[in-house]
Amino acid sequence: MAQPLRIDGETAFFPIIGHPIGQVKSPASLSQIMADRGHNGMVVPIHVLPEDLPGWLAQAAAVQNCPGIVVTVPHKAPCLAFCSRVTARAQAAGAVNIMLRRDGGWVGDATDGQGYMDGIAAQGFDVAGKPALLVGTGGAGSAIAYEILARGASELALHDIDAARRDALIARLDAAFPGRVRIGGTDPRGFALVANATPLGMREGDPLPVEAGLLTAEQFVADVVTRPAIPPLIAAARATGCGTMPGSGMFEAQAVLLAELLMGVRQIALD
């Protein structure tokens, strides 16, 4: 049975910051995980404009009952610079999605890739030894790219309409995974995993991130989009007979991980 939230003078305050912020689903679920485990904390959505981010982070550092911050778009990449230390995957991704107070500063990690790949694994797909295509190299996409390679993909092709951002990520990943990263496109043929890390599909009329008509049943297709519950790419893949993971799979897998990091049950592992 879900436990009631506890709010008093000792409640830990965990902001989740973004612009916009109305689309986030995690505050209630993360707060409920804390309540169910007897932790006195709550996650609260905070709408921060990009130009106000430095000032807001300075104020957050002064809030003594704010031991951690969850970061969403478009602040994942900028927040990296405000961390005194980050994990290897956050450095390679060029972004953080969680910041925890430690030794007078913030330490950062990028857990989007872990949640994404854990959600895929829960559907029975293993990327090890297989080629993958990833569309989208923003904050979440960068972390997902790192994790795909860390879990043993034979190669990763990256596609993004922002060629400079794509190429910068390829350079960072090639340093950690030499010879396994290349430029990709929207043609999904030849890839065991076809992964979307763009918001395409959230709005009616969005184009599909890949040429869905070229998908075949033996491929696995994954998406970050949570609204609608079955994004257009996932609907097209299921119609073809592909294994799939919609964004809810990533969300559910990552919720426990984020909550445990915020509560201190898990620690950010710095190299």
Residues noted as catalytic: 76
Helix (H, G, I), strand (E, B) or coil at 158: strand
What residue type is assigned to position 141 of the chain? G
Torsion-angle region of 56 (φ positive above 0: left; ψ -120 to 50: alpha; else: beta): alpha
CA count, 13 A, side-chain hemisphere, 112: 30
């996409």: which residue's tokens?
A: 141
What's the token pair of residue 107?
A: 């330490």
The strand pairing partners of 85, in sequence order, are 107
DSSP code of 154?
S
Least Cα distance to 153 among 133, 135, 124, 137 occurs for 133
**Token pair 């190429």 in the structure block, residue:** 167
Q: How far apart are CA 169 and CA 171, in angstroms?
A: 5
For residue 129, give the DSSP letter.
T
Which pair of structure tokens corresponds to residue 265?
A: 């049950």
CA distance 16 to 87: 20
Q: Of 147, 145, 102, 153, which is closest to residue 126 (Cα–Cα)?
A: 153
> How do beta strands 181-183 and 155-159 pair?
parallel
